[in-house]
């Protein structure tokens, strides 16, 4: 599209009969000007030159991606346009560089070293368009990307690149619509939260709006303190403006004016990219006072997490923002009624919000066509452990673990095998290889307590003993307990002690029964989600690996 092309802002659906008090030409005109200006700046920056995109994410930083970006900029900035992007999810291939020639031929270079830039120089001169054969074609092509769309190619430090590609159009649509219509569209899409609880997003927004209050808050939960999770960091590092856009739409729909991004204390690159994105959006009038002349204010700020797994629990998160101890609150009341500073508060996960612009731009029907019918949309899977291609994978709900681990993840490395599969993090459970055909979906994947959670899938090598895996998960939960409620504080370390009796051969059948009963008791009586799922690794372990766990027990 040419820079001068007029951008129309239609209603959410072409056949939508609703009327909107915000649908005025002034808002459309202001947004049109932003789009034209952004596209003009992108075109002028390109100058008909080749482009070098360096993917710098937290995964690549550990193996020199930042140094590579500096070296590439220093050597090629006079001959090529340099773009700094986030990781595209193929973490196993980092640092990755994508070279686009003047004729738009693309070359993907993987595991690039800052000590050897010659492959980049050769790719700049190569107009044949032959892609690097080591590129993760199957890894990317087998996915269905909605939330992660553009991660790895979008300029993560430029709002112009995002706007020029259609960014913030969904927000502009929402602003010219009645909030109730926005909520209904999201409800019709059947979008559920992607942080682990899977509560319907539109219903949460509607609930918060329904309580009478002079002030409401929107909190974007990017704490992600759970081992094996890195999806929110990828989103903030690779598509920060999409997270912001989704948050602003949610805030508008729920009548919140203050948006807080709660980012893990160790996610420094995520916080840096989000700070830059918020500043850029503010400078263009996309957030702040009287956004786009709509009469609505959107005040954005970043708060860093207090550290610890439990900080991802929504009421604990609120406590830390208010300056209290990192421990959960008794519910009800729920945050949508009385949350931050006792005001109605919507708390959504970054992944949840990253899907919202797609729904608003394409309509609820387009979103419901993705998934397994019963549950809609995609889920980002954080794949790590003993697989060839660890990284971030976005697939439709209903995709099986086998497809994730083998078809996309490449299966186990050579001369290795898969033993235990940890699904959903330390507060979920473990699967054997025989459960690989289980489809991923919200809620429990098996009656033994295994659930998808936020989407961590950790593959353990076959040489790792199931008892060791279960003990490590139980020990983590015990270490991360905040100590507020007795069942979790006393029960989680006691479960570790009882697991140790299985290892040293002193456990009896009665001890095994007591361990199982204690796991259920902790789940049933704990105050927050950590304790309410702390027994799941034990219950699922005893269900699927009972012989291995109890082989030394006394009969």
* Higher-scoring residue by pLDDT: 383, 553: 383
Q: Distance between CA atoms of 173 and 12, rounded to whole angstroms?
A: 7
Which DSSP helix (H) or strand (E) runs through 261? Answer: strand 258-263
Pair type for strands 217-222 and 345-349 = parallel
Give the orientation angle of helix 536-544 with respect to helix 466-480, to 10 degrees. 170
pLDDT at residue 251 in the model: 98
Pair type for strands 378-385 and 456-461 = parallel
pLDDT at residue 1 in the model: 41
Place of tokens 């903030």: 236
Place of tokens 């916080």: 271
- Alpha-carbon torsion (431, 434, 438, 443), positive or negative: negative
Q: Is the pLDDT of residue 403 over 90?
A: yes
Which whole number is the average pLDDT over 97-117?
91
pLDDT band at 345 (very low <50, low <70, confident <90, very high): very high
Cβ(88)–Cβ(55) under 8 Å?
Answer: yes
> Which pair of tokens denotes residue 485?
């409620």
Alpha-helical (H) ranges within 355-444 are 356-362, 364-368, 401-402
Closest CA to 75 of 104, 115, 110, 48: 115
Burial class of 170 by CB neighbour count within 10 A (0 to 12, 13 to 18, 19+): buried
Q: Is the pLDDT of residue 362 over 60?
A: yes
Q: Distance between CA atoms of 379 and 394, rounded to whole angstroms?
A: 6
DSSP 107-171: EEE-S--TT--HHHHHHHH--S-PPPTTS-HHHHHT---STTTTTTTS-TT-HHHHHHTTTTHHH
Return the SS3 of 547. helix
pLDDT at residue 13 in the model: 45
Closest CA to 147 of 235, 212, 213: 235
Q: Distance between CA atoms of 105 and 89, rounded to whole angstroms?
A: 22
Q: Is the pLDDT of residue 19 over 80?
A: no
- Residue range 483-505, pLDDT digits in tens: 999 999 999 999 999 999 999 99
Return the SS3 of 523. helix
DSSP state of 5: -
- Quickly count: other Cβ atoms within 10 Å of residue 305's Cβ: 23
pLDDT at residue 260 in the model: 98
- Residue range 268-317, pLDDT digits in tens: 999 999 999 999 999 999 999 999 999 999 999 999 998 788 888 999 99
Closest CA to 248 of 155, 164, 357: 357
CA 531 to centroid of chain Cα atoms:
23
Closest CA to 42 of 281, 105, 34: 34
Query: In order of start, what are the domains of the chain with their CATH numbers?
Result: 51-141 (3.40.30.10), 166-367 (3.40.50.11540), 378-461 (3.10.20.600), 467-549 (1.20.1440.230)
Q: Distance between CA atoms of 83 and 77, rounded to whole angstroms?
A: 10
Q: Distance between CA atoms of 31 and 163, rounded to whole angstroms?
A: 10
pLDDT at residue 269 in the model: 97
> Which pair of tokens denotes residue 31?
């947004």
Q: Distance between CA atoms of 169 and 358, rounded to whole angstroms?
A: 10
- Average pLDDT of the chain to the nearest whole number: 92
Burial class of 504 by CB neighbour count within 10 A (0 to 12, 13 to 18, 19+): exposed
> Which pair of tokens denotes residue 263?
């980012």
Closest CA to 281 of 392, 172, 128: 172
106: which strand partners?
100
């Amino acid at each position: 599209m040419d820079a001068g092309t007029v951008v129309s802002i239609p209603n959410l659906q072409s056949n939508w009969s609703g009327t909107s008090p915000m649908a005025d030409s002034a808002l459309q005109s202001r947004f049109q000007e932003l789009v034209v200006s952004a596209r003009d700046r992108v075109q002028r920056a390109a100058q008909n030159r080749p482009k070098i995109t360096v993917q710098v994410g937290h995964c690549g930083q550990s193996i020199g991606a930042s140094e590579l970006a500096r070296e590439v900029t220093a050597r090629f900035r006079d001959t090529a346009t340099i773009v700094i992007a986030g990781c595209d999810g193929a973490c196993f291939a980092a640092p990755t560089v994508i070279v686009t020639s003047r004729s738009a031929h693309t070359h993907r270079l993987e595991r690039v070293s800052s000590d050897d830039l010659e492959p980049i120089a050769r790719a700049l001169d190569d107009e044949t368009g032959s892609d690097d054969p080591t590129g993760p074609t199957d890894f990317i092509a087998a996915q269905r990307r909605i939330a992660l769309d553009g991660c790895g190619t979008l300029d993560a430090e430029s709002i112009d690149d995002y706007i020029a590609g259609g960014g913030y159009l969904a927000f502009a649509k929402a602003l010219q619509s009645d909030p109730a219509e926005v909520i209904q569209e999201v409800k019709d899409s059947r979008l559920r939260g992607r942080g682990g609880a899977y509560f319907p997003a539109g219903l949460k927004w509607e609930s918060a709006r329904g309580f009478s209050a002079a002030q409401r808050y929107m909190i974007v939960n990017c704490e992600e303190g759970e081992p094996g999770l890195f999806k929110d960091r990828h989103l903030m590092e690779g598509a920060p403006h999409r997270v912001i856009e989704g948050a602003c739409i949610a805030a508008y729909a729920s009548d919140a004016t203050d948006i807080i991004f709660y980012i893990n204390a160790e996610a420094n690159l995520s916080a840096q990219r989000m700070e830059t994105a918020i500043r850029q959006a503010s400078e263009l009038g996309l957030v702040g006072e009287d956004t786009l002349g709509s009469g609505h204010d959107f005040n954005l700020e970043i708060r860093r997490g207090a550290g610890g797994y439990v900080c991802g629990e929504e009421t604990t998160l609120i406590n830390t923002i208010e300056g209290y101890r990192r421990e959960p609150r008794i519910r009800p009341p729920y945050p949508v009624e009385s949350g931050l500073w006792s005001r109605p508060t919507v708390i959504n996960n970054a992944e949840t919000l990253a899907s919202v612009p797609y729904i608003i731009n394409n309509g609820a029907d387009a979103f419901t066509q993705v998934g397994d019918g019963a549950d809609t949309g995609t889920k980002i899977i954080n794949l790590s452990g003993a697989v060839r291609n660890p990284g971030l994978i976005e697939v439709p709900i209903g995709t099986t673990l086998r497809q994730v681990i083998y078809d996309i993840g490449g299966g186990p490395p050579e001369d290795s095998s898969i033993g235990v599969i940890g699904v959903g993090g330390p507060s979920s459970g473990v699967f054997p290889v025989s459960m690989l055909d289980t489809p991923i979906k919200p809620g429990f994947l098996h009656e033994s307590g295994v659930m998808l959670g936020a989407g961590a899938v950790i593959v353990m090598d076959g040489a790792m003993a199931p008892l060791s895996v279960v003990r490590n998960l139980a020990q983590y939960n015990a270490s991360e307990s905040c100590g507020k409620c007795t069942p979790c504080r006393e029960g989680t370390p006691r479960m570790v002690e009882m697991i140790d009796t299985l290892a040293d051969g002193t456990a009896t059948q009665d001890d095994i029964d007591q361990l199982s009963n204690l796991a259920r008791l902790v789940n049933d009586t704990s105050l927050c989600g950590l304790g309410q799922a702390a027994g799941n690794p034990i219950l699922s372990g005893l269900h699927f690996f009972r012989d291995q766990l109890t082989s030394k027990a006394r009969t």
